[in-house]
Each structure stands twice: as structure tokens, then as C-alpha cells.
Amino acid sequence: MGELSVNHLLGIKYITKEDVDLIFETADHFKEVINRPIKKVPSLRDITIANLFFENSTRTRLSFELAEKRLSADVVNFSAASSSVKKGETLIDTVNNILSMKVDMVVMRHPNPGAGVFLSQHVNASIVNAGDGAHEHPTQALLDSYSIRERLGEVAGKNVVIVGDILHSRVALSNIFALKLQGANVKVCGPQTLIPKHIEKLGVEVETNLRRALEWCDVANMLRVQNERMDISYFPSTREYVQQFGLNKALLDSLDKEITIMHPGPINRGVEITSDVADSDHAIILDQVQNGVAVRMAVIYLLASKIKQ
Ligand code: NCD
């Protein structure tokens, strides 16, 4: 079996197409494992992983923890709310203290963009970025592409539109990198104020009309408006946002083709997507969650095999 070109997963920006292929092949194997009656393999019995969450999370945190446990790793969990970070400790000190307890790998979610890159340069452990502010969320993008590949056969050549708050979304940026790396065509769609200037330089097109974007795409990835990252108002009202960028059943039914609907969660039902769409056969939202465990098992397994060498 091949090996990853990197020792950390800090962002999709830092990995290659070969890395993505290797992660997906490995995830195929682990997906088969987690559908067995005994959903566990002993592969990482000698590895200890710390999950450091300095920002809220439900899915990602549970998904990483399940992935680690299904590989038989020892797992310790840390959340900023109940830690000495509140007493003024620096990130490097916090992590070095944890590492001195013989931890091999750190999975970290942090509000500051670049926190994972910074840590990887200062501590002696393999770092997995579980979301760094509005920057990258590489495992989400990997599980998203893996789910497209599962539903549509391949990612190359597919038309994918990412809809919503592109400006504040680490899911959007990591997805753009991952989809382009695999040869998909990518558009972003949302209010002009929530689309970063010069985003075309990443090889994507901007479409501000949702209907036109849907008519073009095979896959629509609907993102949440990240109100917690906004200190000013980017659109007049939620009602207006819903009218222009919300995906509902009537709009979907009015297209003369089938499209695959994705969402990274958490969903704001009735805002970016209505319940009847989120719960329809077009949506692969829960497949994404299920695939997340297999993809994270693959990432952790492949990074751990580099530590063991
Ligand atoms: C996303 C995140 O935290 O970046 N959720 C996730 O990880 N599944 C997206 C979001 O918060 O809207």
C-alpha cells in the first residue's frame, strides 16, 4: 500500500490527488469494516490521540472519536471551555503538556485560521485540522468528495455548486481545493457580499442566481449562514436570504433533472434548505455523516502508519 505525501493533514491545499485517491481506497476498506457486526480493527492499539476542541462541534467531534475508537486507538478528549486555556495558557504550552503524557496525534479544531499549521511547526506530533476558523476543514471536504464519488461514480467532470456563506466557510474553501484537485467543475453561489473578492483565482465561477446554478449542476452543496462569524449584516433579512438562496421542493421539482443535495450540517431547516428537501431521496446528508467516520479512519490510519516508521 502507498503512503501519504504529508505527515499532518492541515488542509487540502497541502495534499495531492494521489493522497486523495489513497485516502478513498483506504476509506472503502474501513467502510466495509464499520458495516460488520464487530465494527472494530486492532490497527492502532499502540497509538494515543488527543482531540482538542477549542470551538463547538457535534458531528466532527463524535465522528473523529468514533473513527479513533474503531481503530482501537487510545483517546483523550479536551474542550477549551473546561481547560486551563481560560487561565491564560498558550496553545503551545497546552499542547506540549498534553504531548508529555505520550500522545502521538492531535486532532484540533480552533477558531484561528492557521492554528494547525502553527502547531505542526512547534510540537512533535501528527496534527489533523478539524477546522481552523474560516480557513480549512479538510476531512469535511474529503468526506464530501467521497460521498459524491459513492453516489455518482466519480468526482472528475462533475458540476458542483457550493451555495451560501462562502466568505466565512472553511467547508467551502476545502471543498473548492478538493473538487478542483479531482477535476470537478465548481461554481459558488450566494449573495455577492458573502462571496470573497477574487475567488475566481481558485478556478471557480461565481453565479448569483440560484436557479441558474441548479440548472447547471449535478451536485448542490448547501451551506449554513455562519452568523457567529459575522459582526456586520451581510444581507437585509433572513426572509430575503431564504427567498433568493433557500432550496425548497418547488424549486427542485421545477428543474427538469435530478440533482444530488449535500449539507455538512448543522442544518438551519427552513433557511438554506427546507425539511422536505433535506429529508428527500435527493439528499445524501446522512450518507455524508456515515462516510465521515470511514474517511477519518482512513486519514488517521495513514498518518499513524507514518509515525510508526
Ligand atoms: C461545519 C463547520 O463546523 O465548519 N460543520 C461541520 O463540521 N460538519 C459547517 C458549519 O458549521 O456550518
Map out the domains of the chain with their CATH numbers: 12-136+289-307 (3.40.50.1370), 138-284 (3.40.50.1370)
137 is catalytic: yes
Residue 88 confidence (pLDDT): 74
Residue 231 confidence (pLDDT): 81
Interatomic CA distance for residues 276 and 244, integer angstroms: 18
- Using the mean position of ligand 1's atoms as its centre, give its distance from the Cα of residue 224 in Å: 8
Residue 229 confidence (pLDDT): 86
Q: Which residue from 258, 264, 267, 260 is spatially nearest to 291, judged by alpha carbons?
A: 264
Task: Pick out the chain residues at pLDDT < 70.
Answer: 81-86, 308-309
Which ligand 1 atom lies nearest to the CA of residue 131?
Answer: 4
60 is catalytic: yes
Residue 157 confidence (pLDDT): 98
- Using the mean position of ligand 1's atoms as its centre, give its distance from the Cα of residue 140 in Å: 8
- Using the mean position of ligand 1's atoms as its centre, give its distance from the Cα of residue 266 in Å: 6
Contact 295, 139 (CB under 8 A): yes
Contact 274, 249 (CB under 8 A): yes
Q: For residue 283, give the 3-state DSSP assignment.
A: strand
**Is residue 133 lining ligand 1, measured as CB closer than 6 Å?**
no
Residue 83 confidence (pLDDT): 64
- Using the mean position of ligand 1's atoms as its centre, give its distance from the Cα of residue 170 in Å: 8
Contact 289, 282 (CB under 8 A): no
212 is catalytic: no
Residue type (1 letter), 160: V
* Helices 59-70/138-152 angle, 10° precision: 80
Catalytic residue among 26, 31, 48, 60: 60
Q: Which three cell numbers stand for residue 183?
A: 477535476
Interatomic CA distance for residues 159 and 23, integer angstroms: 22
pTM, rounded to two decimals:
0.96
Which ligand 1 atom lies nearest to the CA of residue 169?
Answer: 4
- Per the omega criterion (within 30 degrees of 0), is the bond before 266 cis? yes
Residue 309 confidence (pLDDT): 61
Q: Which residue from 214, 223, 224, 212 is spatially nearest to 282, judged by alpha carbons?
A: 214
